[in-house]
Structure 1
Amino acid sequence: MAGSALSTTAHANNGDLIAARQKFFGDENVDPESGRVSPDKVILSWLSNSTLAASIAGHVLLLDTYVTRLEVSPGRTPFVIGDLVALKPEGLLIGHGHFDHADNAAYIAAMTGAKLYATAETCVALQADFAREQADPAIQGNPATAFPHKASISCNTVTTTGSVPGTQIVKLDFLEPDACVIAFRHLHSVAVPVDPTWPRAPNPSVYYAVDPRDPGLFPAGTPLAPGKSGTLPGQINIATSGSGGPGGPIPLFFDFVLREGRHFTFAWYNSSGALKEGLGSGWPNGTPADGQRITNILKSLPATDVDAGTIATANFDNNSYRDPFAYIQALNPKIFIPLHLTTGSTFKESISPAVYGGYLDQIKRLGLTLDQWPDTRWLVDPEDYAKPIVYDIRDPRWDNPKKLPAIKHYCGSDPDDHHDDHGKP
């Protein structure tokens, strides 16, 4: 039902599923008869902020569920929430429980049966959100948006309540035998005092005062996101109960390791805390030892091929790109994809080119050249929404023998025990 106005059904038919998957993952990567996505690829499709539709060896997931603007009809985002329901994801991974990450999670889970993976605190918030939506006549009184009969949600707790960041490293088996998923709690962004040792890049506003595209797209005063006080005509108002609540600032880091081919690895996280001080907004009394513990984990993970991580932090005004750069430098990926580009700190919709200018400036201020830094695949809204980023898991570029001991350590077995085609193109 791509292109429809929030039309959601309890059981999207096969045509809806195929259309949604082709919209997000590309016609050439989706079987036109079954809707199955290519099993020999990892495909990422940016849906705004830190939200990605992901196909990992043919398994369809949503990494976060927030959409910057839930259009009544496709507009700035070229899709609507009904398309996310029609996508029929197997799982919904929630990086943390703030509204700009967990919005829509309970709704999509109830409509599709997809399993949620989140912290214990965020799971509590999402169960409360489900109960609120279940009792909302604006949702349940409309046959197009009402939950299926006896709907429920299944929220799998990845870390326990109140756990210390970096002390619970969990192996999740829901993609086995195709992929191992490693998850742990880390630090949410937080403002800390100016670090005099960090060569700060200037605020993005130095580069672009306004986005010259927007006046032509939206008249002055047009809100780029609906307010929480009401709904637009025909629009569902879904705001997670975790926003600002106990599940809000407690983030998870997810690492994916493919079993086949070259053991492609992919990291995803939607916040980056002050590793130097060991502080986060959900861990306000941390110490440098907490940050060092997380840094050590990041460095010990199987060598990262693609890092899809936040570039915005609450610490940006004080210390510019310091905290996200600490994550990038610890992971040392081949490719970096910036996320959290449409909400958070000083970042707003449409200033992505300005943020990129500051990012390049920051690399230079560190005394580095671009060939000493990961290849960067910058994203610009709204042009890059729902455009598939495709990686062939058998590409020789991902070969790295140093991955194997770390894979065995974190994933519990030698990856070659699962398949006999290691290294074949």
Structure 2
Amino acid sequence: MPNNPITRGLSGLAERFATPGLSRPTLADTIAARQRFFGGEAVDPDTGAVRADQAILTWFGCASFAVALGGTVFLLDAWVPRGATSGYVPTTPAEVAALRPAAIFIGHGHFDHAADAGPITQASGAVLYGTAEHCATARSQTNSAEFECVELGSESSKPGDRYDFELAEGLSVTAVRHIHSARTARHEGPDACARVIPAPGVRDMLRYPTTLTDAAQLARRLGDREGGVLLYQFRTESFTLTWHDSSGPLLDNAPEVLEELRTLPASDVHVGAVQGYNQFTNGLRDPRSYIEALRPKVFVPNHHDNWFPLITARGEAFRTPLEAELARIPDGPELRMLLDPDDYVAPGRLAFKLGG
């Protein structure tokens, strides 16, 4: 950001109301957090272990999810939306850290995806996965660099680059480099999509007024760099989950990514970003290209909620255009629509039996 009076003022506000570091959670904290996020019946009340016969995904705003897959707990992105509002998402970074995830996967480094990555990683003891730039940004968010971060390329890596590794026994991961959402020229003809231009949901700023602490935390992180964009697929013997927190114009700018995605196993559940810059020109054409390549049984939207009311709207605004795009796909997936704020921290919304 340029060094002007407004920027200096925001920086001073941020320093004055800086978010304190997060404490290491106790076992009692972890049991309580996991029961809230994954459901009491899925969590051992003495150990906090999550049952291994299910995949449970719990949304906590924008593109952030807590996941329990085959008993392994991990996070997809690491930001509890706040700053423009406070309390709209009913959790905190401390409660998310209390989940004690084994790993945190960053899709890209903008504030609305990774602003809490460093503190949550440090407090929870998780291993962070992302590009070299994501790792550097996360470390800059804490007073200590004492956490493990696995670098999956860098911002200079090529779209379509692939990284394969094991997260736990019986749980493999593939990361694929892709591109951020971007506006492209209007497409006409049979593949044209209706523009999606919802009115900003500013009423939520009045219903959930922000605090100085939350506004300062947002101000501190507004300039965080993208650092490259990664899509992740998680596979057990009987279940495949794919997630990405941005949907770029692959058809126009990176068709090689679509070629790579088609080589992956078909997804049982695909959780993909639908809000993006190209919605104003080409509607949901870009998200549809990911869905067609990944061939899921179930599609779940993310990054479609009112996380920044000056420029966003509630998820209901995306339901009709998303249904229209899925209807264009032969034998397309079932839509599991998530709607804010009712579907935040709601473990029953996305629970799947492994092998079922």
* TM-score, structure 1 normalization: 0.72
* Structure 1 CA distance for aligned equivalents of residues 183 and 341 of structure 2: 28
* Structure 1 CA distance for aligned equivalents of residues 275 and 309 of structure 2: 7
1:166 aligned residue (160, 163, 168):
160
Question: Greater CA radius of gyration, 1 or 2?
Answer: 1
Structure 1 residue aligned with 2:31: 18
Once the two structures are superposed, what CA deviation does each residue of 1:198-242 show, in whole Å capped at 9, x if it has no partner? Answer: 32224353xxx576xx85x7637x65x66xxx525xx98267768
Structure 1 residue aligned with 2:170: 178
SS at match of 2:33: helix
Structure 1 residue aligned with 2:192: 199
Classify 1:8/1:41 alpha carbon distance in 2 versus 1 (closer, same or farther; 3 Å). farther
Structure 1 residue aligned with 2:217: 237
* Structure 2 CA distance for aligned equivalents of residues 243 and 18 of structure 1: 35
SS at match of 2:317: helix
Classify 1:394/1:269 alpha carbon distance in 2 versus 1 (closer, same or farther; 3 Å). same
Q: Are 1:252 and 2:252 matched, yes or no? A: no
SS at match of 1:252: strand
Structure 2 residue aligned with 1:37: 50
Q: Are 1:101 and 2:123 matched, yes or no? A: no
Q: Tell me if structure 2 keeps the 8 A contact 1:341–1:347.
A: no
* TM-score, structure 2 normalization: 0.85
Give the counterpart letter for 2:213 in structure 1: T
* Structure 2 CA distance for aligned equivalents of residues 57 and 277 of structure 1: 37
Give the counterpart letter for 2:79 in structure 1: Y
Which runs of 5 or more residues in structure 1 are unaligned?
Answer: 1-5, 135-149, 279-290, 396-425
Q: Tell me if structure 1 keeps the 8 A contact 2:107–2:244.
A: yes
Classify 1:71/1:190 alpha carbon distance in 2 versus 1 (closer, same or farther; 3 Å). closer
Structure 2 residue aligned with 1:394: 355
* Structure 1 CA distance for aligned equivalents of residues 53 and 320 of structure 2: 35
Classify 1:201/1:238 alpha carbon distance in 2 versus 1 (closer, same or farther; 3 Å). closer
Cα deviation for residue 55 of structure 1 reads 0.7
* Structure 2 CA distance for aligned equivalents of residues 200 and 59 of structure 1: 39
SS at match of 2:322: helix
* Structure 2 CA distance for aligned equivalents of residues 72 and 20 of structure 1: 23
Once the two structures are superposed, what CA deviation does each residue of 1:36-58 show, in whole Å capped at 9, x if it has no partner? Answer: 00111111000010000011111
* Structure 2 CA distance for aligned equivalents of residues 193 and 69 of structure 1: 33
Q: Tell me if structure 2 keeps the 8 A contact 1:17–1:88.
A: yes
2:252 aligned residue (250, 269, 277):
277
* Structure 2 CA distance for aligned equivalents of residues 151 and 127 of structure 1: 5
RMSD of the TM alignment (CA)?
A: 2.8
Cα deviation for residue 249 of structure 1 reads 5.1
SS at match of 1:267: strand
Q: Tell me if structure 2 keeps the 8 A contact 1:181–1:255.
A: yes
* Structure 2 CA distance for aligned equivalents of residues 336 and 128 of structure 1: 35
Classify 1:349/1:30 alpha carbon distance in 2 versus 1 (closer, same or farther; 3 Å). farther
Q: Are 1:85 and 2:106 matched, yes or no? A: no
2:182 aligned residue (190, 197, 221):
190
Give the counterpart letter for 1:348 in structure 2: T
Q: Percent identity?
A: 32
Cα deviation for residue 8 of structure 1 reads 7.8
* Structure 2 CA distance for aligned equivalents of residues 348 and 72 of structure 1: 12
Structure 2 residue aligned with 1:219: 206
Structure 2 residue aligned with 1:330: 293
Q: Tell me if structure 1 keeps the 8 A contact 2:80–2:91.
A: no
Give the counterpart letter for 2:82 in structure 1: R
Q: Are 1:319 and 2:282 matched, yes or no? A: yes
* Structure 2 CA distance for aligned equivalents of residues 346 and 78 of structure 1: 20
SS at match of 1:336: strand
Which runs of 5 or more residues in structure 2 are unaligned?
Answer: 1-18
Structure 1 residue aligned with 2:147: 153
Structure 2 residue aligned with 1:49: 62
Q: Tell me if structure 1 keeps the 8 A contact 2:182–2:277.
A: yes
How many corresponding residue pairs?
334
* Structure 2 CA distance for aligned equivalents of residues 309 and 72 of structure 1: 24
Cα deviation for residue 345 of structure 1 reads 11
2:269 aligned residue (303, 306, 312):
306
Cα deviation for residue 70 of structure 1 reads 6.8
Give the counterpart letter for 1:10 in structure 2: S
SS at match of 2:321: helix
